[in-house]
Each structure stands twice: as C-alpha cells, then as structure tokens.
Amino acid sequence: MKLFSFLSLFCITLSIAQVSTTSAEDVLMSLKDKAQLEQTSLVKNIPLKNIGPSIMSGRVVDLAVNPNNPTEFYVGYASGGLWYTNNNGTTFTPIMDNSHTQNVGDIAVDWKSGTIWVGTGENNASRSSYAGIGILKSSDKGKTWTNVGLQDSHHIGRILINPTNPDEVVVGVTGHLYSPNEERGIYKTTDGGKSWNRTLFVSPEAGIIDVAFAPNNFNIMYASAWEKDRKAWVFLGNGTDSGIYKSTDGGSSWTKVSTPESGFPTGDGVGRIGLAVFDENTVYAVHDNQSRRPKKSEEKKKSDGLTKEDFKTMSSENFLKLSDKELNNFLKNNNFQEKYRAENVKQMVRSGAVKPTDLAKYLEDANSMLFDTPVIGAEVYKSTDSGKTWNKRNEDFIDDLFYSYGYYFAQINVDPSNVDKIYLAGVPIIKSDDGGKTYTSINGDNVHSDHHALWINPKMSGHLINGNDGGVNISYDDGKNWSKNNAPSVGQFYAINVDNEEPYNVYGGLQDNGVWKGPHDAEENSEWHQTGHYPWKSIMGGDGMQVQIDNRNSDIVYTGFQFGNYYRLDLKNDKRSYIQPKHELGETPYRFNWQTPILLSHHNQDIIYLGGNKLHRSLNQGDDWETISGDLTQGGKEGDIAYGTLTTISESPFKFGLIYTGSDDGLIQITKDAGGSWTNISNSLPKNLWVSRVAASKHKKERVYATLNGYRWDDFTSYIFVSDDYGKTWKSISNNMPSSPVNVIVEDPENEDLLFAGTDNGLYISFNRGSSWEVFQNGMPNVAVHDLVIQPKAKHLLVGTHGRSIYKADISTLQLMDSELMEKDLHLFDLASIKHNKNWGSSWSSWSKPQTPGLDITFYTNEADAFEATILSSDGIEVSATEIAADEGLNVLSFDVAFSKAGKMNYLKKHKTELTEAKNGKTYLPEGTYSIVMKSNGAEEKKEFTIE
C-alpha cells in the first residue's frame, strides 16, 4: 500500500506539470458559449430521434422516493439525467433535459414544496464517471434549473435536506476525480443555496463520499471522508485521510470519530466508507478495506492444484518434477495457447528458453491486477454509542461482493423499522437479519449484479426500490422477487456500428450491459411485453466493446468485452470463437485497453486489425495472428490498470496497409507499408493526452483527422486536428467549439466538407471542414457522445451516447450543403414521394388513434424571415397554404397532406369529383402530382412531389 501512496503523489505532481486542469470559470463560460451556439445553430431545426434501446438501462446512482406515496419517485442516472415517475416506475419522464448536464451524483427532494436538489457529477469513481458543474436546484419540479454553486466540485457524494427547514442543506463534496482541488469537503447552506460555508475540509485529495443523519434529529450526522486519486494507469482508492466524522450541530462543525482508539480501521488501507444511521446512538458503516489479507488466507490446499503463485519462486529442477497431468491442468485452466502443453513447456525450461516464473508472468498484466489483488474488501462496523466506539460485525471475509474494486460500491442501508436488518450494495446486493454477522443474497434473475442505491419503505418493511447498473427494480417481499422498471432509454454506449441489411441493424457495446443488436426502425414501446419479442437482442455479455460486422455476411460479427477479450460470433449458428492475440511464453504480456480497438479491413473482410500496445493482424478472421509493429505507445506505467495501449485504429480506404493508430498516452503512428515501418506523427500535438479517434479520410489519401481527450487529466479542452500530408503537419480545427473533451470525429462519405464530432457534452456539425462548428442537438440533451457512425445508403447518422442510448438523424439534406447553397436567400430541397392510403384519418377502432400522413418540407435560408408556402395541384389550383417564421439555416415545414378549407373549395370548382372526408375531419389530397411554392421578399423556389 505504501508503494501506491507514493505513486499517487508522483502521479498528481506529474499531471500538474504536464496538463492543465480546466477551471470552473472556463467550464461555465463554455456552457454559456454553447447555449448561444444552440440559439444560432444552422441545424437547430433538424431533429434527432432516440431509437433506444431501453431494457438494459444504465447505471443508477441515487433514488428519491416520496415516503407518503412510494409510487412517486425520482431516479438519478450516472450520465443519463434525472427521471420522474408517479405510477410506480411504469413510465418515467426526463426532467433535466433543459439543463447544462446529464451527469448526476446525488439527488434530494423536499416533498412538501417539491423542490429538487441535484448534485452533478457521479459519486462512483468509475473510468466513465463524468464530472459535474455543481449543485442544481429546481423549485418548479424540474421545469427550470438554477446553478446554486460549488461549480468546481466535479463530483457530489451526498445531499441532505433538514426535514424541518428546507433552506438548510448539507452537501458532501467528493471533489475532482483526476486531480487535487480545494472545493471538496462538507458545505452547508441555511438560505437555500444563496450562500455556502465549508464546515469540513480534510485535504485536497480527500473529499466526502457519504453523509447521513439520525432520522429524528438532523443535528446528529456522520460523514465519511475518502482519499483517492485516479489516473489512467493506476487507481488509489484509500489513504490515511479516509475516515468518519461526526457533527452534533447539523453539520456546522465536525469531529473525527474513526480514531485508533475507536476500533474503526485507520491508516493507509482505509478506503471508501458508506454510512447508515438508525437512531441517535446506532450507526452502521461499510468499509472497503484495501489492506492486504493475512497470508494465511491466501494459502491453498494441495488438492486445489497449481496456481500462478507457485511458479514465482519455483526452481527449474522442481518444475521438471511436476507431473504432466498436473501441469497440463494448470495450462488448460488458464487458457495458455494450445502449443503450450506440459511436454513442450518442460523442454523450454530444460533449454533455458524460459523460467518457471514466466508462467506466472504470462498470466499477469495490468488488467489482472484489478481482480487478483487479495485485499480484505468489504467489512461492516457498528457503533451503539454515537460513534465513540466501533465493533466489526462480520467474522469471516465478505467475499464476492466488492472484489478489489470496492471504490465502485460501499453503500449500506438499515431498515428504519428493524435495527438488525441491513443491506449491502455491491456485486450482488446482500442482506443481513442479524446486524451484519451473516448474509444472504437477494439478487434476482432479472436484476443486474452491480448495485448503487436502495430505498427501504419506512412504513412497510420489505418494500425495496433498488438502483443498479441495469436500471431500477422494485420488490415487495424483501428481495425474493423483483419487478423491472426500465422504460427510459438511458443506455451507456461505448461504441456503435451498423450493417447493410434492409432495414439495417444497429449494434453497440454498453457499460456493464454487454453488446446488443437491433433494427434501426424498431419502435420503443411496451408492445413487447405482450408479444415477448423485444426488438433488440443481447449478443455478448460483460462490458460491451467495439463491434465490426462482415459486410458480406452480417451474421459474422466481431466483438467482445473489456481488456481485449474479443470473439468472432456466428449469429446464425449461435457459435463463438475466442480470437484475442496471445503473446509468447517468456515474452512481456500484451497490454489491452479497457475498450480495445478492432477493425475489419476495407479492402478484405477476412483481415482484422486489433490493437494492444502493439498492432496485430489476422488474415483469416482471427484464427491466426501476426504482430505487425513494435510497441506503438510510450511503454506503459507501473499501476493496476493497463496503460500504454492503443485506443483507435484507422486504415485508409485508398490503400491497403496505410494505417494509423492512436494510443492512450498521446502517440499517433502511421505505416504506409502494412506494418513494415512505423513513424510517430504526433510530436507537434499536445502531449500525453488520450487519442480518442484517428480517422483516415474517405476523400483524400493524404488527409487524416485526430481527436485528443484530456478527460483523464481533468482537462476539458476540445482538441480536434487535421493533416493533409499524412500527419507531417497538423492544423487545429476545434475553433469555435466550446470546451468539452472530444471522443469521436466522423467525416461524411459524400460531402468532404461535412464533419460530425461527439464530445462529453453533446454533438457538433461542421459544413466547412472544421472552420466553424454548429450545435446539432434538436431532441437530444447535453449528454456524452461516445461514438458516431453513418449508414451510407440510408443517409442516416447514428449517435451512440453514454447515458441516453442511441439517436438517429436523416442527414440527406445536410450532405447537399455547400458554400454556394449556403449563400442563397432560399433553397428548397427535393421532396420524396409518398404513397396514398385510403385509411388516412381513420382507424380500425374508435379506441385507436387514426393513421395520419405527413410530408416534411426542408428548406434553407441565409437569413431569418417569414415565408409563404403554397401547395398547388398539377393544374395550378391552390389546395393549401400557410406561413412559417424561418430561422437562418435549415428549416422543416410539416405538411399534413390535406386540403385547407379554401383549397378544397377551389379544387372542387374545377374538378367535378367527389372528395371523401376522413373520420378525423380532414380531407386528404388524392393521388397525383403537386408542387410547393415558397417565397419571401423576392426569393422564390418551387419543387414537385407525388402522391402515388
């Protein structure tokens, strides 16, 4: 533990020296700039439609339930905003979509007044826990929001409202995730957020993760401090500044109660602590103890077989004495390559090619450190004397709950009506009926295994509402059975892709919810509850990652889960083949990023590229691999997370073997000869940043785009670059884009000037190759955009968000935008034909909604103005007319394909025909050719359309 404490201090110093963290003032200014860009955006009228999916949901961080009416509650999603239900979770409404962020850490509600407090910035220290912008407050149930301070907090641990005085609020501020800062600790307001006083400060590295008060006495409360430091290569989730504090004056002053004399752990190993207060005397704490387990707990029985630890000190002589059967069992159970079997490995040891310790090294890399560290983990303490002394409740280790990543959990709840009934959230959720001595799991088959929030009905024991990585579950029998309440589309996508089927399918990898596939035109509704067929299907578990689809056969899909565990799937025959490249025995293990990049070659769909710290290529769909580079990173760092890994791969469509790679430590490399030689082309770019995307141009062989991301340094600058000479020189093209880390850039396949970029706070479009950017978010809130892909035939842009699932936009008109068109006073785009239906305006039942047609008329104007729109029949009769106040840029006029009252009369005067009025009272246009004429101040355009 001392080693990581030293590493942490070194890392903090290094981060300050290399990359500047973005100030709260700059963040707030960027939000104002973005709001202004939204108002003036040329595409603010072009809609994006959410296409789901919803059923797998996303990470819930907090719940706020009306104790007098538990069917009414709020759910805070880590990066998906705040949602409200008043029908027990049957449906939800988003109420934070008009705010500057969707990143939630904690929520609190004063139910008497309806006032909502949201601490922005997730309180779980995950690799995708996004920073917030302080405390948001709404006095009108979410219609409007006001930022009431603590803007540099980044992450909020807990919010408490005094039940007898709603203007008195105590906030536990966790603080920055990737850098030290001063705005952390306990803050208190007595005037509803107009002013704040910091009443507890521990250190720039230790913030407050939890605060809890005695149910009938707001003056008595406890707070847990948590010392932590996350870097891309190491996470230190413990330290001497972690501990428990107590207040007897409502959070105005504090005293540390986790002293060496108290019985609660102290020292370097103290990690995250969760609190639950039963009454003024009784309080529980769950502690993620990061101290090492005693060695005796690591000893194994002889019958357990060989472990990798055995080989670390084994001599060659003793190794050769091992039985082939015992050694083969070890090799097979640990997934050594087929060529490494007892006879072969013994020969390698005899010849001196490898040593026994190499078998242990073969299995050990930074990835395995996350899961192999034998720490004490979860332990429960109880105080019955108001925090003066603490007694450990569990005699045995609470295994299979926190593992080595307790920083992600550490939530404890006590039943308000039973002091001995407690619940622990982790993997899975467990309960104890004897005050923490023994436990049973209450995870259901339809409940995700990672848990973060729990509400216990104070008036009905056993009624639970649970928030987890897979959404919301409700139980009325103390966890024996659960309902699933996942109506919101709040999926956290890492990556998405599409195939070429008709209708085409969308694929995506999600945070802790696997990989899913679904048709792009599937409607998100509850009909599947009746049919049993949800349109999206799970095709892989774990944390879902990148997806590649064979364009010759969409049943062949390449995807996987974290740290490079990739497979070739045969969806038709329900088969999967593990394809991760393996290093040689005696060779340093490959390093694979959490989201390992994979790419099918444009030139041959049997050829796959996969990036570790080196680039690997398979010529036969992943059955065999060759390494075509040396280390393309800066070499990694000592830590418990894989670092010095490739994050992005791109091959030019113009030439096989013209490949670019980007790494998590800031290097961009190029090969022009399929890996024969490599050149670092990032020396002139900002150093040590995560290369989130490198994209070879579809229009010019020499052109390449790159985006860098400083999120893991708390640097929120937008970094986008382009090169027109294979990366010899670079030009910044972020220009007027407000600061927000950039995750992806996509070049349109038809219009080389058209670019799309996804950031941690939304989507942007450029019509001039990055000289200027427009906000593109009509229908989509300020949410992190992780991936973008264009379906070329359908001319659709698919937007993979990390918090609000997937959006789709028709970009056919955007692809036609060029400098000449954008200078015009008016441009009316071609109109699609529509098919006539005799049932327009009618329905099969008086209880169902009638079918209604619509025609979207898209036009561009270079100046805001009022336009007249006239619909004419083929013989020039005006059948309908309207006016529209158009914005500068693109506008959409929706025409209901019906006669106006005057238009119907005009038409009947000339055409001796019968027009049937539909049941909804409208008379729809008959089959034929029509035209629309738009004009204003001398500008006039005319286009035809057909009703077939």
pLDDT digit string (tens) for 226-273? 999 999 999 999 999 999 999 999 999 999 999 999 999 999 999 999
What single-letter DSSP state applies at residue 20? P
Q: What distance in Å separates the CA atoms of residue 543 and residue 508, rounded to the nearest whole number?
A: 11
- Within 13 A of 267's CA, how many CA atoms are on the CB side? 12
Residue 777 has pLDDT above 90, yes or no: yes
| Mean per-residue pLDDT of the chain | 94
In this structure, how many other beta carbons lie within 10 angstroms of the beta carbon of residue 314? 19
Segment 613-626, tens digit of pLDDT? 999 999 999 999 99
Helix/strand/coil for 622: coil
As a whole number of angstroms, the distance between CA 358 and CA 784 comes to: 42
Mean per-residue pLDDT for 882-903? 95
Digit-coded pLDDT (tens) for 285-318: 999 999 998 876 444 444 568 988 899 899 999 9
3-state secondary structure of 851: strand
Residue-level pLDDT at 403? 84
- Lowest model confidence (mean pLDDT) among 424-438, 819-833, 899-913: 899-913
Q: Which of the residue ranges 458-467, 609-618, 746-755, 847-856 would you say has the lowest mean pLDDT?
A: 847-856
pLDDT of residue 297: 45
Contacts of 869 (CB under 8 A, 6+ apart): 857, 881, 882, 883, 884, 893, 895, 932, 933, 934
Backbone Cα Rg of the chain: 30
Whether the Cβ atoms of residue 387 and residue 276 lie closer than 8 Å to each other: no
**Can you tell me the distance from the alpha carbon of 723 to that of 704, in angstroms, rounded to the nearest whole number?**
5
Torsion of Cα atoms, 770 then 671 then 550 then 604, to 10°: 120
**pLDDT beyond 80 at 669:** yes
C-beta of residue 60 within 8 angstroms of C-beta of residue 471: yes
For residues 659 and 671, is the Cβ–Cβ distance under 8 A?
A: yes
Q: For position 368, what pLDDT does the model report?
A: 64
Please give the pLDDT value at position 8.
40
Evaluate if residue 842 carries a pLDDT over 50. Answer: yes
Q: What is residue 11's predicted lDDT score, i.e. its pLDDT?
A: 41
- DSSP β-bridge partners for residue 425: 411, 429
Query: CA dist 733 to 705, 707, 722, 808, 846, Å?
Result: 10, 10, 7, 25, 56
Rounded-to-integer distance, Cα 60 and Cα 81, Å: 10
Q: Is the pLDDT of residue 18 over 90?
A: no
- In the block, residue with structure tokens 């359908």: 794
Q: Quick check: 257 and 236 in contact, CB under 8 A?
A: no
Q: Is the peptide bond before 503 cis (omega within 30 degrees of 0)?
A: yes
Mention every residue, 6+ apart, whose C-beta is less than 8 A from residue 233.
Answer: 11, 366, 636, 637, 638, 639, 641, 642, 643, 644
The alpha helices in 509-560, defined as continuous H runs, are 528-531
Residue 457 pLDDT more than 70?
Answer: yes
| Residue 367: per-residue pLDDT | 60
What is the band of 371 on the pLDDT scale with cuts at 50, 70, 90? low
Confidence of residue 846 (pLDDT cuts 50, 70, 90): confident
Is the Cα torsion angle 855, 856, 862, 867 positive or negative in sign?
Answer: positive
Q: Which residue has the higher pLDDT, 59 or 372?
A: 59
**Cβ–Cβ under 8 Å, residues 83 and 97:** no
In the predicted structure, residue 826 carries a pLDDT above the cut 80: yes
- Burial category of 874 from C-beta neighbours within 10 Å (exposed 0-12, middle 13-18, buried 19 and up): exposed
Q: 789 phi and psi, to 5 degrees?
A: -150, 145
Q: Span 489-508, mean pLDDT?
A: 98
- Rounded to a whole number, what is the largest CA-CA distance in the chain? 107
pLDDT value, residue 405: 86
Q: Which of 80, 87, 157, 67 is closest to 470 using CA atoms?
A: 80
Token pair listed for 547: 């997806």
**Residues 66-121 pLDDT 10s:** 999 999 999 999 999 999 999 999 999 999 999 999 999 999 999 999 999 999 99
Query: Residue 844's pLDDT is what?
Result: 81
Helices 342-350, 324-333: axis angle to 10 degrees equals: 110
Report the pLDDT value the prediction gives residue 362, as an integer from 0 to 100: 87
Residue 333 has what pLDDT?
Answer: 87
Q: Which of 409, 400, 373, 177 has the alpha carbon at shortest distance from 269?
A: 373
What's residue 338's pLDDT?
81
For the whole model, what pTM was predicted? 0.94
d(CA 212, CA 203): 21
HSE-up of residue 536 (Cα within 13 Å, Cβ side): 28
Per the CB < 8 A criterion, the answer to whether 559 and 548 are in contact is yes
Question: Is the link from the previous residue into 428 a cis peptide, with omega within 30 of 0?
Answer: yes
Task: Please give the average per-residue pLDDT across 776-803, as a whole number.
Answer: 98
Q: Which residue carries 């992780």 as its tokens? A: 786
User: Per-residue pLDDT for 139 more than 90?
Assistant: yes
For residues 216-221, average pLDDT: 97
Distance CA 587, CA 580 (A): 16
What are the CA-CA distances from residue 681 to residues 196, 632, 684, 733 (Å)?
A: 49, 11, 8, 17
* Model confidence at 478: pLDDT above 70: yes
Distance (Å, rounded) from C-alpha 660 to C-alpha 704? Answer: 9
